[in-house]
Amino acid sequence: MEFKKEFIEDYKELLGDELEVFLDYLRRPLRKSIRINTIKKPVKEMLPRIEGWKPKAIPWCAEGFYVEARGVGNEPGHCLGHYYVQEAASMIPPVVLEPEGVVLDMCASPGSKTTQLATYDCVVFANDRVRRMAPLQHNVQRCGATNVILTRQDGTRYHSNFLFDRVLVDAPCTGVGAIRKKYEIARMWSRRAINQLVSTQKRLITRGFNLLKPGGILVYSTCTLSPKENEGVVDYLLRSHDAELEEIALPIKRSEPVLEWRGENYHSSISKCLRLYPQDNDTEGFFVAKVMKVG
């Protein structure tokens, strides 16, 4: 697997001596993991049924398990919505959000996090853009998530007559953390793509924050690792709004968030964010920020 020269330059600057380990992990296939859908069956009832898959608990998500099996997405249990095939790091944002009341999932398709949010005692507004509604609708139905309302709006201009208790912005991104799943992402990667996405990400996080009740919580997450798309976007929000970052207490190995990148200094509280390289926990790469609306 080859990487572009600029990609190597960026990650050499970020990781120094750890670059080779990082590239090595990007070349390894991901461990298979599932999240048991507790809307349909409790974990203790499901575990004996999947014993043959040698389930191993994922420490940061009580319903998440690594499994040793092929074709779990083709099993009747999948069709029945007994579980969702979901990458272990992707289970983090809903856990961090602590869903309650009315929740907006602004970029929801195909619905792994929507269906996870729906397992909590809350109502979920799951939004995405036009062409992405079909997989979202299918997964919500498959999982029997009757507390989900689908909306189809441009999240950057999302209209609502009321404010939300919680907002999840699982933003579109360059997806570097997901290269292990799809090598195509490495081929498509460019600094230009990062710059284009940053503008959308800033508008999404701003709109999401403005739709939040005072005292409410917003989680911003991506499956990429470029500082501009992560720490840079959160820094932008902190500097322009009454937002404060909260600590993320999870049993997980984490890397230091980036506080300075190519001449830009980010807010010191950004050290509370979660930056996960694939080599930290043998997962996808991920970034998660937990923001509180002051007031």
Ligand X SMILES: C[S@@+](CC[C@H](N)C(=O)[O-])C[C@H]1O[C@@H](n2cnc3c(N)ncnc32)[C@H](O)[C@@H]1O
Q: Describe the crossing of helices 191-210 and 231-240 by its angle, rounded to 10 degrees.
A: 40
Q: Which residues bind ligand X (CB under 6 A)?
A: 90, 106-113, 127-129, 132, 154-156, 170, 172, 200
CA distances from 189 to 2, 7, 174, 198 (A): 12, 8, 6, 14
Whether 223 is catalytic:
yes
User: Cα–Cα distance between 8 and 235 in angstroms, integer?
Assistant: 25
Of 10 and 128, the one with the shorter C-beta distance to ligand X is: 128
- Which residue carries 């272990």 as its tokens? 88
CB of 93 to ligand X, least distance (A): 8
Catalytically annotated residue among 107, 173, 223, 273: 223
Closer Cβ to ligand X, 113 or 228, answer by number: 113
**Amino acid identity for residue 26 in this structure:** L
Q: Are the CB atoms for 104 and 175 separated by under 8 Å?
A: no
Three-state secondary structure readout of 129-175: CHHHHHHHHHHHHHCCCCCEEEECCCHHHCCCCCCEEEEEEECCCCC
Alpha carbons 117 and 218: distance in angstroms, whole number: 13
CB of 21 to ligand X, least distance (A): 25
Contacts of 75 (CB under 8 A, 6+ apart): none
Nearest to 105 by CA among 126, 128, 81: 126
On the CB side of 225, CA atoms within 13 Å amount to 29
Minimum CB distance to ligand X, residue 176 (Å): 12
Q: Which is nearer to ligand X, 175 or 257 (CB)?
A: 175
Pair 26, 279: CB distance under 8 Å: no
Least separation, in Å, of the C-beta of 54 and ligand X?
25
* Closer residue to ligand X (CB): 38 or 127: 127
Q: What minimum distance in Å lies between the beta carbon of 205 and ligand X? A: 12
For ligand X, the closer CB: 33 or 90: 90
Smallest separation (angstroms) from ligand X to the CB of 209: 15
* Shorter beta-carbon distance to ligand X: residue 68 or 141: 141
* Cα–Cα distance measured from residue 177 to residue 186, given in angstroms and rounded to the nearest whole number: 10
Catalytic residues: 223
